[in-house]
Amino acid sequence: MAYRYRILTGKSYDDTNIITVHLGNGCSACAIQKGESINTSMGLTPLEGLVMGTRGGNIDPSVLEFLHHKEGMSFQELDTLLNKQSGLLGISGLTNDMRELLEEERVHEDRRARLAIEISACASSTTSGAYLAQMNGADAVVFTGGIGENSAEVRARVCRGHGFFGIALDPAKNEAAVGGKEGDVSAEGARVRTYVIPTNEELLIARDTVRCVKNAPRRW
């Protein structure tokens, strides 16, 4: 994302100050300052961080002890619960597919679908807001991943509370940026720009492999 952002904007490696928000069945955020990652939402495992399709994201660690004693759940059962039965699926009780949840909310006004969407958006908004504070501001927020690339509604919800930071979306540009399209979806005059950039993890893996073989430095 940082590399593609540089191509689109003409910025140098050292002048790349962005926050990437990857939203899909797996979700993560990354703070990139002067071209280097300085913080990321995932921890030892992908379970830490944002609310995902079936992963719960950040929780009170005492929840594990509570469920172990109250429900008699084993560590294996807890691991399965947190990784495969939580997140959007666990909150909604319906599905881990954001498209289906948005449809349930729109057509049936399903309260659990709405709750899942709002909790997910809130987690992404809170994390990106924390990174903006840590970095003392950024030049752009970049959305990617299956949801980040294709859901204008989710992008709008994540950015809804970021007006204070100077983030504002252009509704028409935001709605048009779906289906693999990339570009700046910010409103005119927004101090912090918002981009949609489709991810290409396979390409990055291939490039890193070539760099490893050539023993070349990794600068995207």
For 17-51, how does the pLDDT look when each residue is reduced to its tens digit (9 = 90+)? 999 999 999 999 999 999 999 999 999 999 999 99
**pLDDT at position 108 over 60:** yes
Rounded average pLDDT over 69-87: 96
pLDDT band, very low/low/confident/very high, at 215 (cuts 50, 70, 90): confident
More confidently predicted of 151 and 161: 151
Give burial (CB, 10 Å; 0-12/13-18/19+) of 6.
Answer: middle
Say if CB 149 and CB 178 are below 8 A apart. yes
Q: Where are the alpha helices (DSSP H) in the chain?
A: 2-9, 62-70, 75-84, 87-92, 98-108, 111-134, 145-150, 152-159, 171-176, 201-214
pLDDT value at position 34? 97
Domains in the chain, please, with CATH?
2-214 (3.30.420.40)
Rounded average pLDDT over 137-158: 98
Say if CB 31 and CB 38 are below 8 A apart. yes
For 47-65, how does the pLDDT look when each residue is reduced to its tens digit (9 = 90+)? 999 999 999 999 999 999 9
Residue 195: strand pairing partners: 142, 184
Q: Which two tokens stand for residue 25?
A: 């069945």
User: What value does the mean pLDDT of the chain take?
Assistant: 95
**pLDDT at position 218 over 70:** no
Q: How far is the C-alpha of 158 from the C-alpha of 137, rounded, in Å? A: 17
pLDDT band, very low/low/confident/very high, at 142 (cuts 50, 70, 90): very high
Q: What is the pTM of this model?
A: 0.93
Rounded average pLDDT over 77-81: 97
pLDDT band, very low/low/confident/very high, at 211 (cuts 50, 70, 90): confident
Q: How many CB atoms lie within 10 A of CB 209?
A: 10
pLDDT value at position 80? 97
pLDDT band, very low/low/confident/very high, at 93 (cuts 50, 70, 90): very high
Rounded average pLDDT over 177-204: 95
pLDDT value at position 204? 86
Residue 169: strand pairing partners: 186
Percent of the chain having pLDDT more than 90? 91
**pLDDT at position 220 over 60:** no
